[in-house]
Amino acid sequence: MRVLIAPDSFGDTLSAVAASAAIARGWSAARPGDDIRSAPQSDGGPGFVDVLAARFGEVRTATVSGPLGAAVTASWLFDGRGSSPVAYIECAQACGLHQLGGRPTPRTALAADTTGVGQLVVEALDAGATRVVVGLGGSATTDGGRGMVDALGGPQEAIRRLAGVEVVAASDVENPLLGPVGAAAVFGPQKGADPATVDRLEERMTQWARVLAGMAGRDVSGDEGAGAAGGLGAALLALGGHRVSGATVVAEATDRAGDVGSADLVITGEGRFDSQTLRGKVVSALTGAAAGAGIPTVVFAGQVTLPAAEIAAAGIAGAYAIVDIAGSVEVAMADADNQLARLARHVADSWGADDESDGVRGA
């Protein structure tokens, strides 16, 4: 049997690459004769570069400014195939929450900036990239991309440097820059902002939005995805960029359609399988593509809270939770790699049996 293993990341517990490896290890232990293909996925957030680098390109590193100014080492991907070199940049490599060195606070929410992302863009341009794809997600910042623009030399110099370069904002976030569903209001609290800090961030970005409008010749603050990565999406749009679903970028760059079409079974997964999963996320795209091709799909997740009826209606053969086999959330998170491998082996052992509902399937 040909098995495609294509998970997203499991939150902060396992990267998509690590999750794919764990599933493959467990599945192969039970079914060594199966032909396994690993194709880890991403929506543009943390792990974006690693997922793509597993399939093509040259990983390069640079020392850049982290979210609070301290130097960090960030990886990006250079794809020199063809006549138009492409650079893939993951903003979380430069300004991710994990780069804060501790829990986010109101102070870090105000101070964090995207300077390092701009420095990575400079690296890409200096390498000759004519297409720059920036994966948005997992940032500690709410600066509207001002740090990035400043690192490129300011508004006018940034426009000049990116003239003739295709800029892509890769994100599945559709929020605008400002307002009650904007970057500060929705994502600020996740980045340590208390209500007073959210108000300060909103005021600061309202002023910055006027600068972005001058750069773009139009107001970009209401565009879908402008609020992604703390408003970094808005700056990319103001620089002539366009937004594309991060999951779509990965799907097209890695020929996910071909992978799915050649499989007899698709295994995907993420940290939490719930009602949000089926609303345009990576797992939803994969299960939908597989169902359309008549290929069964299995979902592994840390926890499964989606009702069994909705799982079946989505054309999913089974959804299984790590926590059920681990015995507790604490063990599932602390030993995620081994527990996911155990779960995969358990499901593989019973795959094809008449009755797979043995208490492990989430419902």
274-315 pLDDT, tens digit each:
876 666 578 888 888 898 889 999 999 999 988 888 888 888
Residues 35 and 122 in one domain: no
Q: Is the same domain home to 272 and 171? A: no
Give the model's confidence band at 273: pLDDT under 50 very low, under 70 low, under 90 confident, else very high. Answer: confident
- Residue with the bigger pLDDT between 45 and 264: it is 264
Residue 281 is part of which domain span?
Answer: 2-39+254-350
Mean pLDDT of 324-346: 94
Place of tokens 């998509």: 16
**How much is the pLDDT for 285?**
82
Asked if residue 110 and residue 180 are part of one domain, the reply reads yes
Contact 221, 137 (CB under 8 A): no
- The whole-angstrom separation of Cα 224 and Cα 202 is 17
Report the Cα 73 to chain-centroid distance in Å. Answer: 19
Where do the H-state alpha helices sit in the chain?
16-30, 48-53, 91-95, 106-111, 115-126, 146-151, 155-161, 195-216, 228-238, 246-253, 256-261, 282-292, 308-313, 322-326, 329-334, 336-350
What is the arithmetic mean of pLDDT over 321-339? 93
Point out the least confidently predicted range of 98-112, 130-144, 258-272, 340-354.
Answer: 340-354
Alpha helices in 112-194 (DSSP H): 115-126, 146-151, 155-161
Percent of the chain with pLDDT over 90: 79
> Are 124 and 220 found together in one domain?
yes
- For residue 318, what is the enclosing H or E element? strand 318-321
Amino acid found at 272: R
Look at residues 197, 220, 199, 196 and name the one whose alpha carbon lies nearest to residue 208.
Answer: 220
Average pLDDT over residues 5-12: 90
- 268 pLDDT band, cuts 50/70/90, is very high
Whether the model clears a pTM of 0.95, i.e. scores above it, the answer is no
Report the C-alpha gap between 123 and 76 in whole angstroms: 9
Q: How many CB atoms lie within 10 A of CB 191?
A: 26
Give, in order, the Cα–Cα distances in Å from 223 to each of 207, 236, 237.
17, 11, 8
* Residue bearing the bigger pLDDT, 42 or 78: 78
| Mean pLDDT score of the chain | 92
Pairing type for strands 71-79 and 86-90 reads antiparallel
pLDDT beyond 70 at 254: yes
pLDDT tens, residue by residue, 80-92:
998 899 999 999 9
Does 24 share its domain with 169? no
Q: Are strands 318-321 and 131-135 parallel, antiparallel or unpaired?
A: unpaired
Write down the pLDDT at residue 278: 65
Indicate if the pLDDT at residue 137 is higher than 70: yes
Report the pLDDT averaged over residues 104-118.
98
- The pLDDT score that the predictor gives to residue 313 is 86
Q: Hunting for tokens 């101070």 — which residue is that?
A: 111
Q: How far is the C-alpha of 6 from the C-alpha of 8, rounded, in Å?
A: 7
pLDDT of res. 215: 97
The CATH code of the domain that includes 148 is 3.90.1510.10
Measured in residues, the chain has a length of: 363
pLDDT in tens, 164-206: 999 999 998 899 999 999 999 999 999 999 999 999 999 999 9
Helix, strand or coil, per DSSP, at residue 132: strand
308: domain CATH number?
Answer: 3.40.50.10350
Task: Rounding to the nearest 10 degrees, give the CA dihedral for residues 114, 116, 120, 125.
Answer: 70
In the predicted model, what is the mean pLDDT of residues 54-72? 96
Specify the pLDDT at position 359.
38
Residue that is last in its domain, among 204, 225, 247: 247
Q: Compute, in degrees rounded to 10, the torsion defined by CA atoms 271, 8, 76, 237.
A: -90
Query: Are 232 and 146 found together in one domain?
Result: yes
- Do residue 314 and residue 297 come from a single domain? yes
How many CB atoms sit inside 10 A of residue 198's CB?
Answer: 22
The larger pLDDT score, comparing residue 96 to residue 307, is at 96
126 CA to centre of own chain: 26
CB-count exposure of residue 38 (10 Å: 0-12, 13-18, 19+): buried
Give mean pLDDT, residues 18-35.
96
Residue 283, pLDDT score = 84
Please work out, in degrees rounded to the nearest 5, the angle formed at the alpha carbon of residue 91 by the alpha carbons of 88 and 95: 150
The number of distinct structural domains making up the chain is 2
Residues 6+ apart with CB under 8 A from 194: 106
Q: Pick from 247, 275, 308: which residue ends a domain?
A: 247
